[in-house]
Amino acid sequence: MSKAWTTPVRLHELGRGALSVRLEPDAAERAKIAHDLGLETLPALSAQLTVKPWLDGAEITGRFEAVVEQICAVSLDPFEHPLAGAIEVRVVPAGSPQAPETSGGELEYDPEAPDPPDVLEGDTIDLAAYVVEHLALEIDPFARKPGVEFDYTPPDGPESPFAVLRKLKGGEP
């Protein structure tokens, strides 16, 4: 993921209790994020997060709101639309007993179970990276401008060579 915008929090800072953090990248950071996510522009992005201790790691919860500008997949016109989403992530340090096993065996997946915690490479959590990750998950890769309809009628062109061959062999068209 992009390192265009970072907001680090160290695990030991949570020893004093939960942190409430409001994040808003500046215009240059939003431009880098937009480039990394394949957007035309990112006019607005903000997040309100709460980071609190969880076992030997941390739990990050909150919401983000954004306005993204994309190219319509049908008309190819640029358009802006709002996005919002919830963030709920748990992180643990490397070597934690709560870290998911990566022994190379089969992984059982239960779609109803909560996601396993992310394993940190050090003792620092990059809150901005989680906001950008969740924003990326909300972006529609084939966005359609409101009111635009996809209307396709096949052209009346020459028959395919296979259709002509089928007629020559006496088959039905």
pLDDT digits (tens, 9 = 90+) for 100-129: 876 666 767 788 888 889 999 989 999 999
Residue 81: closest CA among 147, 4, 2: 147
Contacts of 98 by beta carbon, 8 Å cutoff, 6+ apart: 55, 56, 57, 92, 117
Confidence at 173, pLDDT banded by 50, 70, 90: low
Tell me the C-alpha distance between 61 and 89, whole Å.
7
Q: What is the total residue count of the chain?
A: 173
Confidence at 2, pLDDT banded by 50, 70, 90: low
**Inter-axis angle of helices 127-138 and 27-37, nearest 10:** 50
Instruction: Over range 76-91, report the average pLDDT.
Output: 96
What is the pLDDT at residue 171? Answer: 64
Contacts of 56 by beta carbon, 8 Å cutoff, 6+ apart: 92, 93, 96, 97, 98
Cβ atoms of 11 and 126 closer than 8 Å: no
Q: Is the pLDDT of residue 137 over 90?
A: yes
Cβ atoms of 18 and 6 closer than 8 Å: no
Tell me the C-alpha distance between 146 and 91, whole Å.
38
Tell me the C-alpha distance between 86 and 66, whole Å.
12
Confidence at 132, pLDDT banded by 50, 70, 90: very high
Burial class (CB in 10 A: 0-12, 13-18, 19+), 106: exposed
Instruction: Over range 45-49, report the average pLDDT.
Output: 98
DSSP letter assigned to residue 16: G
Mean pLDDT, rounded, of the chain:
90
Tokens of 92: 């643990």
What is the pLDDT at residue 97? Answer: 86
Residue 1: closest CA among 140, 118, 123: 118
Q: Is the pLDDT of residue 78 over 60?
A: yes
